[in-house]
Structure 1
Amino acid sequence: MQEDVEQVASGAEDPPDQATVRRAVVASAMGNCIEWFDFGVFSAGVMTTIIGTVFFPHDSAGSATLKSFALIAAAFVIRPFGGMFFGPLGDKLGRQRVLATTIILMSGSTFVIGVLPGYDTIGLAAPILLLLVRLIQGFSTGGEYGGAATFIAEYAPTRRRGVLGSFLEFGTLWGYILGSGLVLLVNLSLGADRMHAWGWRIPFLLALPLGLVGLYVRVRLEDTPAFKELDETGHKASSPLKETLLHHWRMILNLIGIVILLNVADYTLLTFMPSYLTDNLGIGDVAAQLTTIGVEFGMLLVIAPLGRLSDRVGRKPLLATAATGYILLSFPAIKLMQLHNPVTVTAGFAIMGALLVLMLAVIGSTFPAMFPTQVRYGAFAIGYNISTSVFGGTSALVIDSLISVFHTNYIPAFYLVVAGLIALVPILLIPETAGVSIKNIATPRPSGSSRLATASD
């Protein structure tokens, strides 16, 4: 990390020092960490069952796990609206102000879940309040990821954007490990009865201190050099949302296509798989969580080197390898997991994780560079959240429902293969962004073609 931040942001008239660049990376990654801390907590095998039984009538239709997955999916319905609100706002007012707002909304919402009374206390108001909190959380998350990726990309030097951008997803993986690891620790320490009675609240409550740390780091930073230059020269878009939809819809469609695979893989692996291992494959809660955490930790170790590799060979080779891998290896990976041997279960899970980390390592540097500074935050947020809402947040719910309908545990593999086939097309169509100055990306001409200037720094 130290050597990565010693470079200065490319093209800035008054380059930030290495400490500022380092804080920009940490500030951006903290938001992702908090978002995925929530998913790590909410999707842990034992937690999905508890949430479903604590907040819903005990005799209502559907399993407790399915109810929890429905809550996860509900939060994603609102995300595109958050992206359309916060994204253009970030292009108009600045990245830093909006990101300070989204991080406190996200962490505060997770904290509130930890203090909500259950169905036995307030009846139907319990699931209604929980749904409301999840919607607020989804709305704020819709403005988080696009802004955080933009923040890192606009601070990073062109030739180091890949490795610095990979730290955004480093935050994702750490957040998930912290969340699921904390659930495991609390569960083992308290036992099933106390965990169900009150212990489940502890991980949710700890989200607020994490959010306050992230807020502190973010408010101490100035806005990005690229946005400050845009603001000082008076070149900001007068109507960012209109310009985004009018001139950048083709590239947004490409982004949506790639994000289909990214999020189907991401949420299948991190949100659905823990419960799949326990409910469908009969693996114990502790073993399932240890498998998940172990693979996630392995992904942590390789994500920065892969980001550095993308600075040398390009982003598209890694993205294309991931898409092809999911097309060819999803069924073998699921087959290995169904052998019920700890080694084969871990091997199958690791195959899926290895393909996912190829994408995670480069999306933080690829997606922001697909759009010019004037609309970067908004275009990224809109495209990313539309795709995430439709195909990401619903993955666990759809897969679990299809397994119940078709009575086959190969549904996750089928879902991943289809997503890989879809994503491979836009991956091949988008321009290579490695070595391209993020400040020199132009608004497309009326024909839809775009100019990408090679960085001189």
Structure 2
Amino acid sequence: MSTGSIPNNQNNHKPSAQELTVSDITIVDRKLLKRAVGAAALGNTMEWFDFGVYSYLAVIIGKVFFPDASGAAQLIASFGTFAAAFLVRPIGGMVFGPLGDRFGRQKILALTMIMMSIGTFCIGLIPDYGSIGIAAPILLLVARLVQGFSTGGEYGGAATFIAEYSTDKRRGFMGSWLEFGTLGGYLLGASLVTLMTALLPEQAMLDWGWRIPFFLAAPLGIFGLYIRLKLEETPAFKEHMEKQDALEHSKPQLGLLKMLHQNRNQILKCMGLVLLFNVSNYMLTSYMPSYLTSVLGMSELTGLLLVMVIMFVMMPLTLMWGHWTDRIGRRPVIALGAIGLLLLSIPSFMLIGSGNLLAVFAGLAVLGILHTCFSGTMPATLPALFTTHIRYSALAIGFNLSVSLFGGTTPLVTAWLVDTTQNVMMPAYYMMGAGVIGLITVLTLRETAQKPLSGSSPTVASHAEAHRLIDRLRKQRAKKSRMPQTASE
């Protein structure tokens, strides 16, 4: 599989201030932008609805599919099946990413939506271990692998879609809606499981209740597919395809392995940022409910409600950071979160481990607030690492490799570490390690706030803003041309 390449002089050409005209600037319709952001975020909502449901049902799923194991082994087996889906995500990224760069973001995002829905729906259909024996956990694994393969193309495509539709001035804020959808989907799934846990007897949840949330994937997926099919392709991709058509007879084909080699530094930066982002994410959203219940001995309902409240608090904070990164930059906010993990992970888990309800809430709140430093910035930061013609491919592969190795395995590895060492502070040490890697990575980044995406024209919201941009660039050019003369005088 290969992805098209544009010669560097064409791909990175930017008209000077004197050359720049309104026709060189992309003007995005506000209504179309809102629809694009909503459709992209909806897929993330769907993905994380499943994660919220699975995480909050981890204990029950362990009992249904691994009934002969001990309580700790059931939890580890349940999270092991959860983590297995992440092993195929890079394969999904390698398939869907190049397809998205070749045929368009919109078409591939519609495909990933329907595949995610099918995988989630099928989990609800699987008979339990008592009915079909070892075939039950095998079918669960297959369904999770289908989900993992499809989600391999989801986040990279959705982040690319929003970034390429957004104006340069508001890319951080618009991108933060992707993670708002993540938290919303997780909260929706968690809320449904919590409500059912409160209303249904434990035996009813074990017998049939756990299936209901997975069945809801079908109508959500159909609605999301309809919304995505109604969208137009991104302006940046259209511009790229026009350049490709103009260079049809001279453009070389860039193989996938060669593309990865040529962009290895940027992909490594992407992986470092995603490690930071997803270790804190999965620690809080996927592992923490089970940690509170199985390790600290809280009631299941109390643990579920605490994490849900934190998710609710995180939603507006994610949008706030997205807004502020457009003003102060992405790098300072990411660095703030990484330093926070280094300094506050141990105090946070000491508060959580105290058993006092207010202290537990405070510890979770600190972790949640630190995570919003990443959730509010990454959807705009990651796509800006790559140029248009390889953006979907490189982001999907870099993102999913890091998620597979470090993010999705966080609940499994942490549960194993706590069980093996009997040290309940292992999650804090794990998060501190992520903070170190993230801080080193952010120091290598260049600031991209309020700048065009690499290989793309400046993007604004109106003709008036386009004229103001041209005037500002001309004044800056004139000021620079006068500086040497002023210095000599």
**Which residue in 2 is equivalent to 1:356?**
371
Is residue 2:185 matched to residue 1:175? yes
**Which residue in 1 is equivalent to 2:442?**
427
Equivalent position amino acid for 2:238 in 1: K
**Aligned-partner Cα distance in 2 for 1:140–1:368:** 19
**Aligned-partner Cα distance in 1 for 2:388–2:435:** 29
Equivalent position amino acid for 2:47 in 1: E
Helix, strand or coil for the counterpart of 2:453?
Answer: strand
Equivalent position amino acid for 1:282 in 2: G
**Which residue in 2 is equivalent to 1:184?**
194
**Which residue in 2 is equivalent to 1:197?**
207
Cα pair 1:92 1:237 within 8 Å, conserved: no
Cα pair 2:59 2:290 within 8 Å, conserved: no
**Aligned-partner Cα distance in 2 for 1:242–1:410:** 40
**Aligned-partner Cα distance in 1 for 2:255–2:451:** 23
Out of 209-218 and 150-159, give the one that drifted further. Answer: 209-218
**Which residue in 2 is equivalent to 1:105?**
115
Is residue 2:299 matched to residue 1:284? yes
Helix, strand or coil for the counterpart of 1:58?
Answer: coil
Equivalent position amino acid for 1:335 in 2: M
Give the one of 266, 271, 274 matched to 1:251.
266
**Aligned-partner Cα distance in 2 for 1:147–1:113:** 25
**Which residue in 1 is equivalent to 2:409?**
394
**Which residue in 2 is equivalent to 1:346?**
361
Equivalent position amino acid for 1:379 in 2: A
Shift of 1:210: 1.1
Shift of 1:191: 1.9
**Structure with greater Cα Rg:** 2
Shift of 1:436: 1.3
**Aligned-partner Cα distance in 1 for 2:164–2:204:** 47
Cα pair 1:237 1:243 within 8 Å, conserved: no
Shift of 1:48: 1.0
Distance change (3 Å), C-alpha of 1:433 and 1:264: same
Equivalent position amino acid for 2:145 in 1: L
Post-superposition CA distance 1:320-363 (Å, at most 9, x none): 00000000000000000111111000000000000001110010
**Which residue in 1 is equivalent to 2:124?**
114
Equivalent residue runs for 1:230-269 within 5 Å = 230-234=240-244, 238-239=253-254, 241-269=256-284
Helix, strand or coil for the counterpart of 2:90?
Answer: helix
**Aligned-partner Cα distance in 1 for 2:369–2:217:** 28
**Aligned-partner Cα distance in 1 for 2:352–2:339:** 20
Cα pair 1:264 1:392 within 8 Å, conserved: yes
Shift of 1:246: 2.9
Is residue 2:82 matched to residue 1:67? no
**Which residue in 2 is equivalent to 1:3?**
none
**Aligned-partner Cα distance in 1 for 2:346–2:127:** 42
Is residue 2:52 matched to residue 1:23? no
Distance change (3 Å), C-alpha of 1:304 and 1:18: same
**Aligned-partner Cα distance in 2 for 1:243–1:11:** 34
Equivalent position amino acid for 1:95 in 2: R
User: What TM-score does the superposition give when structure 2 sets the normalisation length?
Assistant: 0.86
Distance change (3 Å), C-alpha of 1:59 and 1:262: closer
Out of 197-206 and 227-236, give the one that drifted further. Answer: 227-236
Is residue 2:201 matched to residue 1:226? no
Is residue 2:91 matched to residue 1:81? yes
Out of 138-147 and 225-234, give the one that drifted further. Answer: 225-234
Out of 416-425 and 15-24, give the one that drifted further. Answer: 15-24
Is residue 2:423 matched to residue 1:411? no
Equivalent position amino acid for 1:151 in 2: F
Post-superposition CA distance 1:240-294 (Å, at most 9, x none): 6245313211010111111111111110110000000011111111111111010
**Aligned-partner Cα distance in 1 for 2:29–2:437:** 42
Distance change (3 Å), C-alpha of 1:12 and 1:128: farther
Post-superposition CA distance 1:27-66 (Å, at most 9, x none): 110111111111100001xx11211121235258962211
Helix, strand or coil for the counterpart of 1:340?
Answer: coil
**Which residue in 1 is equivalent to 2:47?**
35
Is residue 2:133 matched to residue 1:123? yes
Cα pair 2:28 2:166 within 8 Å, conserved: no
Give the one of 166, 171, 189 matched to 1:156.
166
Distance change (3 Å), C-alpha of 1:195 and 1:57: closer
Post-superposition CA distance 1:73-116 (Å, at most 9, x none): 10001111111111111111110011000011112111110111
**Aligned-partner Cα distance in 2 for 1:24–1:217:** 9
Cα pair 1:160 1:311 within 8 Å, conserved: yes
Greater RCO between the two (CA within 8 Å, min separation 6)? Answer: 2
What percentage of aligned pairs have identical amino acids? 48
Equivalent position amino acid for 1:283 in 2: M
Helix, strand or coil for the counterpart of 1:43?
Answer: helix
**Aligned-partner Cα distance in 2 for 1:246–1:310:** 30
Helix, strand or coil for the counterpart of 1:145?
Answer: helix
Cα pair 2:28 2:167 within 8 Å, conserved: no
Give the one of 366, 390, 393 matched to 2:381.
366
Shift of 1:195: 1.0
**Which residue in 1 is equivalent to 2:286?**
271
Helix, strand or coil for the counterpart of 1:117?
Answer: coil
Cα pair 1:32 1:168 within 8 Å, conserved: yes
**Aligned-partner Cα distance in 1 for 2:24–2:228:** 20
User: What TM-score does the superposition give when structure 1 sets the normalisation length?
Assistant: 0.92
Out of 370-379 and 62-71, give the one that drifted further. Answer: 62-71
Distance change (3 Å), C-alpha of 1:377 and 1:237: farther
**Aligned-partner Cα distance in 1 for 2:23–2:252:** 21
CA RMSD of aligned residues (A): 1.9
Equivalent position amino acid for 2:262 in 1: H
- Give the count of matched residue pairs: 435
Helix, strand or coil for the counterpart of 1:239?
Answer: strand
